[in-house]
A and B are shown apart, each in its own frame.
Chain A
Amino acid sequence: MGVLDPLVRLWRFNGGLHPPTRKAPSNAQPARALPPPPRLLLPLTQHVGAAARPVVNPGQHVGRGELLAAADGYVSAALHAPTSGTVVALEARPIAHPSGLSAPCLVLDADDADAWGALPAPLADWRTAAAAEIRRRVREAGIVGLGGAAFPTAVKLAAEPPPNLLIVNGAECEPYITCDDRLMRERAAAIVGGVLILRHALGAAAALVAIEDDKPEALAAMRAAVAASGAAELRVQAVPTRYPSGGERQLIRVLTGREVPSGGLPAELGIVCQNVATAAAVFEAITTGRPLTARYVTVTGAGVHTPQVVEARIGTPVADLVAACGGYTAAAARLIYGGPMMGFALADDGVPLGKGGNCILVAGATELAPPAPALPCIRCGDCVRACPADLLPQQLYWHARAREFERAGELGLFDCIECGCCAAVCPSRLPLVQYYRHAKGELLAAERERHKADLARERHGARQARQAREEAERAARLAAKKAHPAPAPEAAAPAAATATAPASVATAPTAAASPAPTTTDDPRQAAIAAALARAQARRARAAADATAGTSTDAAPGDDDGRG
């Protein structure tokens, strides 16, 4: 009796939508591999977790696949050169982020060779390899969740205890996005190979590949590849098309009927989810040694001439992607990174494609509902029926609007997956998701501040305890001296020996150090004297100002604190 045998029926999650899928124009022709652009921008943070630590210097030549920045910490991901070329800079550049802010990026100028550099040897027989070895290689290949979340894959592979079930997510439920569809049609064998490697590394008993039933070609290709692999306890499962069935929690619900607890992880149910493109990247990294340097991405919308899926190098500027698809049409009005439901608007097409970027949507002026002026909430409750996370969007909205963020948090704000179903059905066109994002940000900031305050309180307490201890020791020494005022060195010697020993140790280095600067650092002494004189002059000027009164007031208070 296998793990998959009981999973013969499908469940459904509450809520959800059937938005127009609009996948047709971009999924018709095969994905085209784009040549590397002349200049690539590689942010050090393309993933969840700590920024990668650069290991190359500007001016250095690198081959494709060579390490540019190493993972820095457990939850972090390495970054590799997407093509051969010269690293020209490490500087802040605008990145694909809703804030539009800049972040440190490596700038790589491509040469024409596009030649692979030195790569690790392929892992010939991964079936006998230790799970830790596969995890290490996945980590060193810089693989992150390619479905959009960009969570480092190696971290997910360390699930303990070993999960029962690996769910491979090929649902691709969001409108317009077709890159996983094309990938499953074209590289089904690589995906199945990757699924088997992931299953082996996890120690999972079984694997399910879930694909929405509006992708019959992908389903057929994946089923054929699974049959060809002859693997047991591996099945391709069609799931009904309904947004957001590709959400991790929703997909688990549909496939197993179980619900991931609020604030918990699927691992608590013995389930791990991975995206199909992640599986293909793992297969590539293990069987060829090639790290993640390119990905399938959909470039679509009425604002681009020939909507299609392209295989682009990580770090390709969005402008180059659009140009490779025929450029902007006259209708182009909005540039969106990600899909129409969960993506965010870009202010500038110079930002690069990141590892988690699955879609560039160039929307026409009339294509997406424009953000019409919002009307008051009429408490119709449509959002409650649409919410796939079983929340009360209307209540969350009221609390977020009233800045009662704590109350919103108590109502499960952090279980909101920001899918946008509530905002899509809202007759008052309220920007609900924006309210939730804002409220989450405020709660996280408050949490950070609380943490920082706790740290400061603790350190201040430790400092005061230390000062009190030192004061007590000094008082004890003084009292001991007063009790035995005998200045005779013979009498004091045994008692003072222990007391003076540390003192002599402490004074010795200063005694040794003080002559050294006077003999060797005369210019330095002069510089210090000059700096002191400058500072004194500044003080004198400041003292003349009326504001000097407040700063001198603060000083005695500080002395009291140390007292």
Chain B
Amino acid sequence: MLVAIVALTLLAGLSGLLLGYAAVRFRVEGDPLADKIDAVLPQTQCGQCGFAGCRPYAEAIAAGAADIDRCPPGGQAGVEALAALLGVEPKPLDTAHGVEKPPQLAVIDETQCIGCTLCIQACPVDAIVGAAKHMHTVIAQECTGCELCVAPCPVDCIHMVPIATTPANWAWPAPRAA
């Protein structure tokens, strides 16, 4: 009887120590769920969800503070991917935060640019180059199409153009289902 009590007490104490050590030693830094959500979000950094970028939105979703239907650049496919990740029912995109658009790119009309640098300050991914009183231009490969540069421009010389389909980025369409 005594042997059993001592043995079990020792076992429980050892397990407790082990668990306590593991909790310290293998502590997870950051929020793994927010990381996973952030990986699904399109990283447009447009702020249409009401948060200051994709990462804050991902953290809000992970914390349960925001719904999954607030990302227009991700579109319906993005909502469905988030739903699959989080194990919840997919829902339609909330159009209060904007509507889904085809991929687009900001283009500066360089003849009209006055070199005010406002768009450079607005760009969340540093995709606009230029200096004060010199013409600015958009680095097409870096542009996420977030539209944040359009509003600050005092002369309205920034236009959003859809990305054109060329033989290089064309893909075979789906065959008609059998």
Residues of A within 8 A of B (CB): 45, 95, 97-99, 101, 103, 374-377, 401, 428, 430-431, 434-435, 437-438, 440-442, 444-445, 449, 452-457, 459-460, 462-464, 510, 513, 517, 528, 531-532, 534-535, 538, 550-551, 553-555, 557-558, 560-563
Known: A101-B167, A401-B177. A460 touches B125 (CB 8 A): yes
Of A434, A535, A561, the residue contacting B154 (CB under 8 A) is A535
Residue of A nearest to B172 (CB): A437
Asked if B144 and A456 make an inter-chain contact with CB atoms under 8 angstroms apart, the answer reads yes
Give the CA-CA distance A85 to B41 in the complex, in Å: 53
Residue of A nearest to B170 (CB): A99
Asked if B50 and A557 make an inter-chain contact with CB atoms under 8 angstroms apart, the answer reads yes
Known: A441-B172, A457-B43, A528-B114. A550 touches B98 (CB 8 A): yes
Residue of A nearest to B147 (CB): A554
Asked if B47 and A453 make an inter-chain contact with CB atoms under 8 angstroms apart, the answer reads no
Residue of B nearest to A524 (CB): B114
Give the CA-CA distance A513 to B133 in the complex, in Å: 9
Give the CA-CA distance A435 to B174 in the complex, in Å: 6
Of A99, A435, A438, A454, the residue contacting B167 (CB under 8 A) is A99
Of A45, A456, A555, the residue contacting B168 (CB under 8 A) is A45
User: Is B42 on the interface with A (CB-CB < 8 A)?
Assistant: yes
Asked if B151 and A555 make an inter-chain contact with CB atoms under 8 angstroms apart, the answer reads yes
Of A455, A459, A531, A555, the residue contacting B112 (CB under 8 A) is A531
Asked if B48 and A554 make an inter-chain contact with CB atoms under 8 angstroms apart, the answer reads yes
Known: A463-B126, A550-B98, A557-B52. A510 touches B132 (CB 8 A): yes
Asked if B178 and A374 make an inter-chain contact with CB atoms under 8 angstroms apart, the answer reads yes
Identify which of B47, B122, B169 gathers the most chain A CB atoms within 10 Å of its CB. B47
User: Is B106 on the interface with A (CB-CB < 8 A)?
Assistant: no
User: Is B88 on the interface with A (CB-CB < 8 A)?
Assistant: no
> Known pairs A452-B43, A454-B43, A562-B121. 15 more at Cβ < 8 A?
A45-B168, A97-B167, A97-B170, A438-B171, A438-B175, A440-B172, A441-B171, A460-B43, A460-B55, A460-B124, A464-B53, A531-B112, A554-B48, A561-B47, A561-B53
User: Is B156 on the interface with A (CB-CB < 8 A)?
Assistant: yes
Residue of A nearest to B133 (CB): A513
Residues from chain B with a CB closer than 8 A to the CB of A45 are: 167-168
| Chain B min CB distance to A164 (Å) | 35
Question: Do most interface residues of chain A lie in helix, strand or loop, or is the interface mixed?
Answer: helix
Give the CA-CA distance A442 to B172 in the complex, in Å: 9
Give the CA-CA distance A517 to B133 in the complex, in Å: 10
User: Is B148 on the interface with A (CB-CB < 8 A)?
Assistant: yes
Asked if A434 and B175 make an inter-chain contact with CB atoms under 8 angstroms apart, the answer reads yes
Residues from chain A with a CB closer than 8 A to the CB of B141 are: 455
Residues from chain A with a CB closer than 8 A to the CB of B79 are: none
Known: A528-B114, A531-B114. A445 touches B171 (CB 8 A): yes
How many residues from B make CB contacts under 8 Å with A? 48
Give the CA-CA distance A341 to B154 in the complex, in Å: 57
Residues from chain A with a CB closer than 8 A to the CB of B51 are: 557
Asked if A377 and B148 make an inter-chain contact with CB atoms under 8 angstroms apart, the answer reads no
Give the CA-CA distance A449 to B55 in the complex, in Å: 17
Of B153, B154, B171, the residue contacting A444 (CB under 8 A) is B171
Residues from chain B with a CB closer than 8 A to the CB of A97 are: 167, 170
Residues from chain B with a CB closer than 8 A to the CB of A513 are: 133
Give the CA-CA distance A454 to B45 in the complex, in Å: 12
Residues from chain B with a CB closer than 8 A to the CB of A557 are: 47, 50-52
Asked if A455 and B124 make an inter-chain contact with CB atoms under 8 angstroms apart, the answer reads no
Known: A431-B175, A438-B175. A95 touches B167 (CB 8 A): yes
Asked if A561 and B38 make an inter-chain contact with CB atoms under 8 angstroms apart, the answer reads no
29 contacts between A and B (CB under 8 A): A98-B172, A99-B167, A103-B166, A374-B178, A401-B177, A401-B178, A430-B178, A431-B175, A434-B172, A434-B175, A438-B175, A441-B171, A442-B171, A449-B42, A454-B43, A455-B141, A457-B38, A459-B126, A459-B127, A460-B45, A463-B126, A517-B133, A531-B154, A535-B154, A551-B151, A553-B50, A557-B51, A561-B47, A562-B121
Known: A460-B125, A528-B114, A551-B151. A377 touches B178 (CB 8 A): yes
Give the CA-CA distance A517 to B165 in the complex, in Å: 42
Residues from chain B with a CB closer than 8 A to the CB of A455 are: 141-142
Asked if B175 and A435 make an inter-chain contact with CB atoms under 8 angstroms apart, the answer reads yes
Interface 1/0s, chain B 45-61, versus A by CB < 8 A?
11110111111000000
| Chain B min CB distance to A357 (Å) | 15
Residues from chain A with a CB closer than 8 A to the CB of B50 are: 553, 557
User: Is B173 on the interface with A (CB-CB < 8 A)?
Assistant: yes
Residue of A nearest to B114 (CB): A528
| Chain A min CB distance to B122 (Å) | 6
List the 5 closest A-B pairs by CB distance, nearest first: A441-B171, A561-B52, A374-B178, A437-B172, A453-B43
Asked if B178 and A561 make an inter-chain contact with CB atoms under 8 angstroms apart, the answer reads no
Give the CA-CA distance A558 to B47 in the complex, in Å: 7
User: Is B44 on the interface with A (CB-CB < 8 A)?
Assistant: yes
Asked if B42 and A531 make an inter-chain contact with CB atoms under 8 angstroms apart, the answer reads no
User: Is B155 on the interface with A (CB-CB < 8 A)?
Assistant: yes
Give the CA-CA distance A442 to B174 in the complex, in Å: 10
Residue of B nearest to A50 (CB): B168
Give the CA-CA distance A99 to B169 in the complex, in Å: 10
Residues from chain A with a CB closer than 8 A to the CB of B174 are: 435, 438
Give the CA-CA distance A24 to B42 in the complex, in Å: 55
Residues from chain A with a CB closer than 8 A to the CB of B154 are: 531-532, 535
Residues from chain A with a CB closer than 8 A to the CB of B122 are: 558
Residues from chain A with a CB closer than 8 A to the CB of B172 are: 98, 434, 437-438, 440-441
Residues from chain B with a CB closer than 8 A to the CB of A460 are: 43, 45, 53-55, 124-125
Interface 1/0s, chain B 14-37, versus A by CB < 8 A?
000000000000000000000000
Give the CA-CA distance A208 to B18 in the complex, in Å: 65
Of A442, A454, A535, A560, the residue contacting B52 (CB under 8 A) is A560
Residue of A nearest to B132 (CB): A510
Asked if A561 and B124 make an inter-chain contact with CB atoms under 8 angstroms apart, the answer reads yes
Residue of B nearest to A510 (CB): B132
Residues from chain B with a CB closer than 8 A to the CB of A538 are: 156
| Chain A min CB distance to B24 (Å) | 28
Give the CA-CA distance A531 to B157 in the complex, in Å: 10
